Amino acid sequence: MGRDLPVIKVDTVTELEHAVVEGVDISGHWNRMFSDRSTTDFPTEAMDWVTGLAGGESMRDCYQCGKCVPVCPVQHVGDYGPRKLNAKILRGNNLIDDPDLWLCTTCGNCYRVCPKEVNPLKIMPAIREQAVLEGKVPDELSDAFRNLQKSGNPMGESPRKRIDWIAEAGVDVPIISQLDRAVDVLWYVSDYTSYHPRGKDAARAMARVMTALGVDFAILGPEERSDGDSARLAGESGLFELLAEQNIKAFEKYEFKRLVVMDPHAYNAFKNHYPRLGWQGEVLHYTQFLAPLVDRLTFRSSVDLDVTYHDPCYLGRNNGEYDAPRKLLQAIPGIRLAEMPHTKANGYCCGGGGGGMWLDGFVAEHVSERLSERRVREAVATVGMDGSGVLSVACPYEPSRFEDAVKSTGNDGKLAVRDIIELIDQAMQPPAT
Amino acid sequence: MDYVVLLKQVPDLAEDLEIDSAGTGLDREWMSFVASEWDEYALEEALHLRDATGGTVTCLALGVQAGDVDELLATCLARGADRVVRVGSFEQSPDSHSAAGAFAAALDGIPHDLILTGVQAIDDLDGQVGPLLATRRDLPHVSVVTHIAVAADGKTATAHQEYAGGVVGEFELDLPAVLGVQTSREAPRYAPVSRVRQLMKTATIEKADGGGGGSGSGLTIEAMAVPESGATAEMITGNPVAIADRIAAILAERGIGAGAPR
Chain A contacts of B16, Cβ < 8 Å?
Answer: 158, 160
How far is residue A53's CA from residue A50's CA, in Å, rounded to a whole number? 5
Pair B60, B102 in one domain? yes
In this structure, the answer to whether residues B22 and B130 fall within a common structural domain is yes
Burial (CB < 10 A; 0-12, 13-18, 19+), residue B204, is exposed
Q: Within this chain, do residues A125 and A169 fall inside the same structural domain, yes or no?
A: no
Q: Is A22 a member of any domain? A: no
Q: Please give the residue of chain A at the shortest CA–CA distance from B187.
A: A139
Residue A1 has a pLDDT of 41
Check CB contact under 8 Å for A236 and B194.
Answer: yes
Is residue A101 one of the residues assigned to a domain? yes
Q: Does residue B113 sit in the same domain as residue B203?
A: yes
In this structure, the answer to whether residues B149 and B236 fall within a common structural domain is no
CB contact under 8 A, A132 and B194: yes
Please state the rounded mean pLDDT for residues A34-62. 86
Give contacts of B15 with chain A, Cβ < 8 Å: 158-160
* Residue B198 contacts A where some CB pair is shorter than 8 Å: yes
Q: Do B16 and A242 touch (CB under 8 A)?
A: no
B217 lies in some domain: no
User: Chain A within 8 Å of B15 (Cβ-Cβ)?
Assistant: yes
Interface touch A156/B16, C-beta < 8 Å: no
Kindly state the average pLDDT of the residues A92-121: 97
CB distance A238–B16 less than 8 Å?
no
User: What's the CATH code of the domain at B148?
Assistant: 3.40.50.620
CATH (domain of A55)? 1.10.1060.10
Q: Which residues of A touch B200 (CB under 8 A)?
A: none
Q: Above 60 in pLDDT, residue A6? A: no
Q: Is B52 helix (H, G, I), strand (E, B) or coil?
A: helix
Tally A–B CB contacts below 8 A: 53
A60 CA: distance to closest CA in chain B (Å):
26
Give me the mean pLDDT over the A188-212 stretch.
97
A309 and A421 share a domain?
Answer: yes
Q: Tell whether B144 and B259 lie within a shared domain.
A: no
Domain co-membership, B145 together with B41: yes
**Nearest C-alpha in B relative to A144:** B190
Counting as low any pLDDT under 50, the low residues of chain B are: 260, 262
Residue B196 in contact with partner chain A when CB distance is under 8 A: yes
| Cβ within 8 Å, pair B192-A241 | no
State the average pLDDT over residues A267-275. Answer: 98
Please give the residue range of the domain that contains residue A258. Answer: 154-293
Tell me which residue range forms the domain holding B238.
231-262
Partners of A155 on chain B (C-beta within 8 Å) are: none
User: Are both A115 and A211 inside the same structural domain?
Assistant: no
Confidence of residue A18 (pLDDT cuts 50, 70, 90): confident
Is it the case that residue A223 has pLDDT exceeding 80? Answer: yes
Of A133, A164, A187, which residue is a domain's last? Answer: A133
In a domain? residue B184 = yes
d(CA A423, CA A169): 16
Over the range A39-59, which residues count as b (16 or more CB within 10 Å of their CB) and which as e?
A: eeeeeeebbebbbebebbbbb
C-alpha separations of A279 from A58, A121, A283 in Å: 28, 22, 11
B118 and B247 part of one domain:
no
Residues A182 and A264 in one domain: yes
**Alpha-carbon distance B99 to B92, whole Å?**
11
DSSP H or E run through A142: helix A139-151
What percent of chain A has pLDDT above 90? 86
* B195/A contact by beta carbon, under 8 A: yes
Contact A135 B15 (CB under 8 A): no
Asked if B37 is an interface residue toward chain A (Cβ–Cβ < 8 A), one would say: no
Q: Quick one: A70 and A94 in the same domain?
A: yes
Single pTM value for the model? 0.84
A76 with A160, same domain: the answer is no
Residue B17: predicted pLDDT: 83
CA–CA distance, B84 with A386 (Å, rounded to integer): 65
Show the CA angle centred on residue B226, arms to residues B222 and B229, nearest 5°: 130
Q: Are residues A261 and A335 in the same domain?
A: no
Amino acid at B168: V
Q: Domain check: are A267 and A241 in the same one?
A: yes
CB contact under 8 A, B192 and A157: no
Task: With a threshold of 0.85, tell me whether the complex ipTM lies above it.
Answer: no
B13 at interface of A, judged by CB pairs closer than 8 A: no
CA distance B198 to B202: 6
Number of domains in chain A: 3
* pLDDT value at residue B125: 85
| Alpha carbon distance B154, B160 (integer Å) | 18
Yes or no: say if A319 and A229 are a contact pair by the CB < 8 Å rule.
no
Count: domains in chain B: 2
Does residue A428 surpass a pLDDT of 90?
Answer: yes
Say yes or no for a CB contact (<8 Å) between B197 and A132: no
CATH assignment of the domain containing A162: 3.40.50.1860
Closest Cα in chain A to B197: A238
**Residue A380: inside a domain:** yes
Task: Kindly state the average pLDDT of the residues A183-191.
Answer: 98
Q: How far apart are CA B238 and CA B233, in angstroms?
A: 16
- Domain membership flag for residue A12: no
Q: What is the per-residue pLDDT for B230?
A: 79
User: Do A50 and A70 belong together in one domain?
Assistant: yes
Burial class (CB in 10 A: 0-12, 13-18, 19+), B28: middle
Q: Taking 60 as the threshold, does the pLDDT of residue A309 lie above it? A: yes
A286 and A349 in a common domain: no
Domain final position from B193, B208, B223: B208
Do B258 and B198 have their domain in common? Answer: no
What backbone torsions phi and psi does residue B160 show, to the nearest 5 degrees?
-100, 130
Q: Which residue among A132, A158, A238 places its CB closest to the CB of B14?
A: A158
B142, B249: one domain: no
Give the chain B residue whose CA is nearest to the CA of A146: B190
Cβ atoms A168, A129 nearer than 8 A = no
Strands (E), A248-348: 256-261, 282-285, 305-309, 335-337
Q: Is residue A81 part of a domain?
A: yes
The whole-number pLDDT of residue A10 equals 56
- Contact (CB<8Å) A239/B194: yes
In chain A, what residues touch B12 (CB-CB under 8 Å)?
A: 150-151
**Last residue of one domain, picked from the residues A277, A293, A309:** A293
Tell whether B177 and B246 lie within a shared domain: no
Residues A309, A354, single domain; the answer is yes
Does the beta carbon of B258 lie under 8 angstroms from any beta carbon of chain A? no
Of B15, B194, B197, the CB nearest to A160: B15
Higher pLDDT: B221 or A330? It is A330
Instruction: Look at residue A375 and tell me if it is in a domain.
Output: yes
Q: Which of A83, A99, A133 is the last residue of a domain?
A: A133
Confirm whether B87 is domain-assigned: yes
A145–B193 C-beta distance less than 8 A: yes
- Candidate ranges A52-56, A156-160, A411-415; pick with highest mean pLDDT: A52-56
> What share of chain A has pLDDT > 70, as a percent?
94
Give me the pLDDT at residue B31, please: 80
Reading phi first (left if > 0) and then psi (alpha if -120 to 50, else beta), residue A62 is in: beta
Q: Do B178 and B138 fall within a single domain?
A: yes
Query: Does some domain include residue A24?
Result: no
Do the domain assignments include residue B213?
no
pLDDT of amino acid A273: 98
The confidence score (pLDDT) of residue B191 equals 93
Please name which of B41, B46, B55, B51 lies closest in space to residue B2, comparing C-alpha atoms: B55
A150 touches chain B (CB under 8 A): yes
CA-based nearest distance B4→chain A, Å: 22
- Range A213-227 average pLDDT: 97
| B221 within a domain of the structure (yes/no) | no
Residue A133, chain B, CB below 8 Å: the answer is: yes
Give the pLDDT score at A346.
Answer: 96
Q: Are residues A420 and A314 in the same domain?
A: yes
User: Are both B137 and B169 inside the same structural domain?
Assistant: yes
